[in-house]
Chain A
Amino acid sequence: DTGVSQDPRHKITKRGQNVTFRCDPISEHNRLYWYRQTLGQGPEFLTYFQNEAQLEKSRLLSDRFSAERPKGSFSTLEIQRTEQGDSAMYLCASSRQNYEQYFGPGTRLTVT
């Protein structure tokens, strides 16, 4: 499978705990994007990387959120001190520069 992969697919955590998600993009893609999708809504942009550089962060990305893409390969998204409002599907997408974005299957986060 050469598509975008995400791990884990599902995560249930208690409020206040930290969680980390991983995204592996399509291998030749230099752009990697994170989006968040709540139930019944369209995805919302969180942040994106070009190679290892994080070029933009949305206002949705509070101080509790941090994303990295070491060596321009896989990326991680960490949420510290989770809140119930963080419950959502976290989607990763990758692309070659300004070309089409291909999404992974997402990580469904439930904060209890």
Chain B
Amino acid sequence: QQQVKQSPQSLIVQKGGISIINCAYENTAFDYFPWYQQFPGKGPALLIAIRPDVSEKKEGRFTISFNKSAKQFSLHIMDSQPGDSATYFCAASRVKAAGNKLTFGGGTRVLVKP
């Protein structure tokens, strides 16, 4: 049962462009939505996270947009740089009721061309 669906599987963007990754979830009890960045051979690194009481959160070049009614959230990477080339994972969890265990999407491989 895939509770968090992520798209696209991969994307190529030019340096300075905007990378957009989308996720959709099924479980309306989810109340915490983080994004992780993972480089080959490394563990996932927390980028940014949002709770459903806000519709947008921005940290530097990274922005999460959240649409509770559509059960969708997305990551925007502004001014993409070659160093942003990595795999990005969205995730969702129930913070209090289920130990905050994360359910991950399938990942998006981003390549930023110089």
Contact = CB atoms under 8 A, between A and B. Distances in A.
Q: Do A and B bind each other?
A: yes
Contacts of A93: 43
B36 to A, nearest CB: 8
Interface residues of A, number: 27
Contacts of B105: 42
B43 A98 contact: no
B8 to A, nearest CB: 14
A100 B42 contact: no
A50 B6 CA distance: 30
Interface string A46-59: 00101000011000
Interface in B1-53: 4, 6, 34, 36, 41-46, 49
Interface of A: 4, 6, 31, 33, 35, 40-45, 48, 50, 55-56, 91, 93, 95, 98, 100-106, 108
